[in-house]
Chains A and B, each alone.
Chain A
Amino acid sequence: MAGASFLLYQKRDSLLERWDPRMKIVAVLLFGAALLLTHSLGLKTVQLLLLIVLWGMAKLSWRVLVFTLLSLSLFFASTMIYQSVLTAVPGESMITWGWLSFSSQGVIRGIMMCEQIAGIVLLLALLVRTTSPIILAEGLEMLLKPLKKWRLPVHEAVMMFSIALRFLPILIEEFDKIRKAQLARGGGFHRKGVSTRFRGVLPMLMPLFVMSIIRAKDLAVAMESRCYQGDEGRTPIRVYRLRVSDYAVFSFSIVNLAAIFVW
């Protein structure tokens, strides 16, 4: 359950929750681009620290932050090994530590790559944990509105996305129930070798898949009976107006992106 908890929205009345969803999505894209394009360790570290400050401002749990970063530790370790040991370029200064020798440039590259991975994950977690799926979907739909001119099913795609987010906790809970039921019957993938564990996954995924189909069918019927017929004739639930804070977020994201070309 905790594995996907970083993806779950909970109302906390924070400043970030009050930001306009359109601006949040744009800011995430701009910040993400800045994270990917920055080649300076200092700037990447500042960006990561900034995301941690935003995490605090969003009143999100520090425990979840630590858990999220720890869950990436395997990625961090493999990235560090790959960058510092396996991609060492001849001529780079080498650091020798016991029998191990690695490139000092590679270590910096590895740290930057780890910061990048952590930054992207925190950025997305910040977006989905501070924005209700329906508000997120509305924001996304407003941003993608121009694509409707080419008859792209923007509303339907966004609705599917928001429902998928809405049902994520239910599916996780269901997976947990099936896992425990399989364990109670002597099955499951908690013991023996890798192949046995791997084979144990299938009996859990199949019932989950079937349940998901049944739920999706029931939900479709319920939505239809509540007069849902796509975006035809729908009233927006909320009216979004950009405020000074939203413009400030946008301006900051632009400055952050521009900074990488200056630094």
Chain B
Amino acid sequence: MIDIRDTTFYYNMPQDDEEDAGRKPALSHISLTIAAGEFVAFLGRNGSGKSSLSRLLNGIELPTEGTVSVEGHVTSDKAALSAVRRIVQIVFQNPENQQVGITVGEDIAFGLSNIGWPQHDIANRVAWAINLVGLDADEDRPVSNLSGGEKQKLALAAVLALAPRCLILDEATSMLDPVARRQFVATLHEVRKQYPFTLIYITHHLEEVTDADRWLLFRAGKVVASGTPNVLAQDTRLLEDCGLELPYYWKLAGLLRESGISVPSDMNELELRELLCKSS
């Protein structure tokens, strides 16, 4: 579905003069593919290149070198840009900075209007999207009256209304409180059960992506590791190096293993609790 080949990206191309000579690329020689329907987590420190790569996938930024193609459409081809953006949608970190409409309905309808959705069906589609994410608000409710969690659900509804085949969440939960974050993630997984789109999840919270198909670890504009969560979670030094911290129950499982207790690597929070209760 997504094919990234030897891609390097600079926000500002370095000039030959002395001052710019040391400028580093935001992304350096990245090559990877993401299959349709895959759930991939981009992990790493701030400034490691995760968000930059997500912007290349939607064609907001274009690679300085190399190519990025989405379902065969090359993002640097201006004629294909509109198709790329219909396929790949992004939910950004700050919900307030991505909402155009003054009411819930207007905001969802904005994207539909942009892609030329049939006028007579816009109201139905807006209602469908509100219902899909379980937003407890009618379409006339002002966006300013929504809580942080609701605003982010609205942002999700607004992009899902466009029926993307790939959704990128760029630290979409970082401004939410823990309860709203859990609700948002639960909603996302519920929606994905109905519409199994490709999901690229950018986060610092590993507990949100323990069920991902693949983790990609970023450091200084490069992908330093790629693998299943169970495999990569064993390498705590690498995770620390990438500024990541394992969820507490994974840490506990690791400590138990070090003490000679057999704990399966794919154990989740509830299964570990059960194991501990049984052993006591």
Contact = CB atoms under 8 A, between A and B. Distances in A.
Interface in B186-229: none
A236 B119 CA distance: 7
Question: Which among A215, A221, A226 has the greatest number of chain B C-beta atoms within 10 A?
Answer: A226
A11 interface: yes
A221 B92 CA distance: 10
A222 B92 contact: yes
A222 B98 CA distance: 5
A225 B60 contact: yes
Interface stretch (A82-90, A163-171, A184-192): A163-171
A221 B86 CA distance: 15
A66 interface: no
B199 to A, nearest CB: 16
A222 B102 contact: no
A169 B102 CA distance: 11
B274 to A, nearest CB: 43
A123 B89 CA distance: 41
Interface stretch (A35-43, A55-63, A227-235, A244-252): A227-235
A227 B85 CA distance: 6
Interface stretch (B42-50, B108-116, B239-247, B252-260): B108-116
B89 A11 contact: no
Contacts of A132: 102-103, 106
Nearest to B54: A225
Interface residues of A, number: 29
A93 interface: no
A134 interface: yes
Contacts of B267: none
B97 interface: yes
Contact of B98 (A133, A163, A170, A219): A219
A232 B176 CA distance: 35
A89 B101 CA distance: 53
Contact of A234 (B58, B89, B90, B113): B113
A175 interface: no
Nearest to A11: B140
Contacts of B142: 10-11
Nearest to A227: B114
A74 interface: no
B94 A218 contact: yes
Contacts, number: 91
A225 B82 contact: no
B122 A227 contact: no
Given A227-B162, A234-B114, A237-B113, A218 B97 contact: yes
Nearest to B144: A169
B111 A226 contact: yes
B117 interface: yes
A222 B107 CA distance: 12
Contact of B106 (A134, A224, A233): A134
A227 B82 contact: yes
A222 B93 CA distance: 11
A134 B101 CA distance: 7
Given A133-B102, A169-B144, A235 B85 contact: no
B92 A235 contact: no
Q: Which residue, of B90, B106, B118, B119, has the highest number of chain A Cβ atoms within 10 A?
A: B106
Contacts of A11: 103, 140, 142
A224 B60 contact: yes
B233 interface: no
A226 B114 CA distance: 7
Contacts of B166: none
Nearest to A219: B97
Interface of A: 9-11, 132-134, 163, 165-166, 169-170, 215, 218-219, 221-229, 233-237, 239
Given A11-B140, A170-B96, A226-B162, 11 more contacts: A9-B102, A132-B102, A223-B110, A225-B58, A226-B85, A226-B100, A226-B111, A228-B111, A228-B114, A233-B116, A235-B122
Interface of B: 55, 58, 60, 82, 85-86, 89-90, 92, 94, 96-98, 100-103, 106, 109-119, 122, 140, 142, 144, 158-159, 162
8 contacts: A9-B102, A166-B101, A222-B97, A222-B98, A226-B159, A227-B114, A235-B113, A237-B122
